Amino acid sequence: MKLQDLRNLKAEELDKLFIEGVSPSRSELEGFFAGISLPQTTKTFLPRAFEKFAIFIGDKIWKGKVFMKIDSELRGANILTDFKIPAFPFRVEQSNSFLDGKPCLILNYRIFPNPFPVVFIRDELRKIGEKLYLGVMFFYPVFLKIPSIYFGLEREE
């Protein structure tokens, strides 16, 4: 399976892929990963209009993520536009998924200089194939854990 193949999957199929995925090791996540926005999980109560808006913005602006080791910590940023502008940095942490309680990598946006509401986003990431990763975005203000859209990442050489 390739990154673009994920576009043909329904939310139920993405849920199944994410649940069957495995937590990637931090060492395999260095460099640039091309990204696409995908439908929202069936586990959300967000309106479909949000999904359509997020996918539209994702297709026009968001191009993926870059991961890099800084000191002994894995960090990263989202890449915007074809000019590959880094924005919205994150820390990579190991934890359990809000979706199913199994291990995954967490992209934690609660760091400076992220603005409101970006600080309330938590991405969860699992490996689903060779150089292919599926993530789910959560809105995580205080105690709420609101699942949102999926996104796909594929390592670019």
How many domains does the chain contain in total?
Answer: 1
Model confidence at 157, pLDDT cuts 50, 70, 90, reads: confident
CATH of the domain at 68: 2.40.128
Q: Is the pLDDT of residue 142 over 90?
A: no
β-pairing, 85-96 vs 103-108, is antiparallel
Which residues form the domain of 122? 3-155
Over residues 77-102, mean pLDDT: 97
